[in-house]
């Protein structure tokens, strides 16, 4: 099969976004629209992805460093036909070419695969959609036999043509050799004074090619984004699909409309996910995991049976089986919690490796630390890991008991089974089994009289 080359049009201004950010960089599900299109092109096996940029070119280019993307500059936006023509020198003659749009982010791979899979020199594949209100779109003009003859733009359409409900999505595929002979002959003598890509349909028909038409399963697949309302519509459609997938795969969702997946979420069976969960980056949830309301979980692995209680924020962490996290816990990058651990309310961890069965239940900061098994960290314990210049480590052995309101001034090491009295400021290492108490001595003064008002 001839190589597939994808041309993505992304040079337009997108003025209706009212934004300093180029339109194609506005995110859907946490990822710039253009990157969705590039990823889809890659899934199709494209040999090269030619992205035509103009407005905000530097910003768009800087957003993506990828060897399979070739940036093509269109300095003046003279129309979609002119835009594709800019990529012609970079297209091999034998290539199959698929035209996509940087502001149409959610076309399914299967929809496009069907278009390019049986493309050869004798046909042009066109993706169309039927619309109740086709105003503004190019209309698909067919003859009496139902064969596509041409596309007519809204502003050039006769009253009769304006009644046509089948419209052009803009997405089409044809071989590079045809584009190379047709595009240089385009004229801009039309209502908008633009070089229309759509004029090549009539050229294809004149050249005896057949126009193969297909339609997407869902119109959202070909929905372009011109303003933030349409952006929100696409976002909600995308999230609804994610929710349906998760339910199909074994998660019960308290409300399928109140979960957001911005990245890759993989799950086991029998999960319960309460409202307002946000998943970002790469997250994996095991079976029987429970996610409470209002949790934000990013780049994390959460093992079977773990429970993340309400309002917890987890990033770059590994949570072991049957661990209990939160409510109001914050696990920062480098946190690795073994099975059956507990991290309770208002506890922050960072680069903390915690052994099986250990507990940090209340109001603590544990950073740059390694904890053995069955350690109990009392309420209000702080690892003082930063001396103002460098970070230092705290090491707690198996079975260590840390009394409440303890400061562990790192670097410091506490051996197995040691005990620390509440309120201690620990600055020296503690040996196995020892009790360390490091706090002001209590004096009780009898006969003390309180001051009286003068």
Q: Which residues bind ligand UD1 (CB under 6 A)?
A: 9-12, 52, 74, 77-80, 82-83, 101-103, 137-138, 151, 153, 167-170, 196-198, 224
96 φ/ψ angles, rounded to the nearest 5 degrees: -85, 135
Compute the least distance from the CB of residue 69 to ligand UD1, in Å.
Answer: 15
Q: Which residue has the tokens 């993989």?
A: 266
Q: Active site residue: 55, 135, 178, 362, which one?
A: 362
Compute the least distance from the CB of residue 5 to ligand UD1, in Å.
Answer: 17
Q: Dihedral of CA 34/35/37/38: which sign?
A: positive
DSSP 206: H
Q: 95-109 burial, b for 16+ CB within 10 Å, e for fewer? A: bbbbbbbbbbbbbbe
166 φ/ψ angles, rounded to the nearest 5 degrees: -85, 125
Compute the least distance from the CB of residue 189 to ligand UD1, in Å.
Answer: 14
Measured CA to CA, the distance from residue 268 to residue 93 in angstroms comes to 47
Measured CA to CA, the distance from residue 172 to residue 215 in angstroms comes to 11
Q: Which of 88, 94, 96 is nearest to 72 (CA)?
A: 88
Specify the residue, 79 or 286, whose C-beta has the smaller distance to ligand UD1: 79
Query: Does residue 362 carry a catalytic annotation?
Result: yes
Specify the residue, 103 or 348, whose C-beta has the smaller distance to ligand UD1: 103
DSSP 225: -
Compute the least distance from the CB of residue 266 to ligand UD1, in Å.
Answer: 33
What SS3 class is residue 168? Answer: strand
Specify the residue, 151 or 302, whose C-beta has the smaller distance to ligand UD1: 151
Specify the residue, 197 or 408, whose C-beta has the smaller distance to ligand UD1: 197
The Cβ-side half-sphere exposure at 377, using a 13 Å CA radius, reads 38
Compute the least distance from the CB of residue 10 to ligand UD1, in Å.
Answer: 6
Specify the residue, 161 or 287, whose C-beta has the smaller distance to ligand UD1: 161
Q: Which residue has the tokens 């003025």?
A: 15
163 φ/ψ angles, rounded to the nearest 5 degrees: -80, -10
What the block records as the tokens of 284 is: 């994996």
- How many Å is the maximal CA-CA distance in the chain? 112
15 φ/ψ angles, rounded to the nearest 5 degrees: -60, -25
Contact between 291 and 297 (Cβ < 8 Å): yes
Beta bridge partners of 317: 335
Measured CA to CA, the distance from residue 137 to residue 223 in angstroms comes to 12
Specify the residue, 102 or 367, whose C-beta has the smaller distance to ligand UD1: 102
Specify the residue, 103 or 274, whose C-beta has the smaller distance to ligand UD1: 103
Q: Which of 366, 368, 362 is nearest to 380 (CA)?
A: 362
Compute the least distance from the CB of residue 335 to ligand UD1, in Å.
Answer: 42
- Residues identified as active-site: 362
């Amino acid at each position: 099969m001839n190589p597939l080359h994808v041309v993505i049009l992304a040079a337009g201004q997108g003025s209706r976004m009212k934004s300093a950010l180029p339109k194609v960089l506005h995110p859907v599900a946490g990822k710039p629209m253009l990157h969705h299109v590039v990823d889809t092109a890659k899934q199709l096996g494209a040999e090269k992805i030619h992205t035509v940029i103009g407005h905000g070119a530097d910003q768009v280019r800087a957003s993506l460093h990828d060897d399979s993307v070739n940036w093509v500059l269109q300095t003046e936006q003279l129309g979609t036909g002119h835009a594709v023509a800019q990529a012609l020198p970079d297209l091999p003659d034998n290539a199959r070419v698929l035209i996509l749009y940087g502001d149409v982010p959610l076309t399914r791979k299967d929809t496009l695969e069907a278009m390019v899979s049986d493309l050869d020199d004798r046909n042009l594949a066109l993706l169309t959609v039927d619309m109740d209100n086709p105003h503004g779109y190019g209309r698909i003009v067919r003859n009496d036999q139902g064969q596509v003859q041409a596309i007519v733009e809204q502003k050039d359409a006769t009253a009769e043509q304006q009644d046509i409900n089948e419209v052009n999505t803009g997405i089409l595929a044809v071989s590079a050799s045809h584009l190379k002979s047709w595009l240089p002959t385009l004229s801009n003598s039309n209502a908008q004074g633009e070089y229309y890509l759509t004029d090549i349909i009539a050229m294809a028909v004149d050249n005896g090619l057949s126009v193969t038409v297909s339609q997407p399963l869902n119109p959202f697949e070909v929905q372009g984004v011109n303003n933030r309302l349409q952006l929100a519509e696409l976002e909600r459609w995308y999230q609804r699909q994610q929710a349906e997938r998760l339910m199909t795969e074994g998660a019960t969702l308290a409300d399928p409309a109140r979960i957001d997946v911005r990245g890759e979420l993989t799950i086991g069976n029998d999960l319960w996910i309460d409202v307002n969960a946000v998943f970002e980056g790469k997250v994996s949830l095991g079976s029987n995991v429970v996610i409470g309301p209002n949790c934000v979980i990013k780049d994390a692995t959460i093992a079977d049976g773990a429970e993340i209680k309400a309002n917890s924020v987890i990033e770059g962490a590994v949570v072991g089986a049957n661990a209990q996290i939160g409510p109001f816990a914050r696990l920062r990058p480098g946190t690795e919690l073994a099975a059956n651990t507990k991290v309770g309310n208002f506890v922050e961890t960072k680069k903390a490796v915690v052994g099986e069965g250990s507990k940090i239940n209340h109001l603590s900061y544990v950073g740059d630390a390694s904890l053995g098994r069955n350690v109990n960290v009392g309420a209000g314990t702080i690892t003082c890991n930063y001396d103002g210049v460098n970070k230092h480590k705290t090491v707690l052995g198996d079975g260590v008991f840390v009394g409440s309101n303890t400061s562990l001034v790192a670097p410091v090491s506490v051996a197995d089974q040691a005990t620390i009295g509440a309120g201690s400021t620990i600055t020296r290492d503690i040996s196995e089994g020892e009790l360390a108490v490091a706090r002001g001595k209590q004096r009780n003064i009898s006969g003390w009289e309180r001051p009286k008002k003068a």
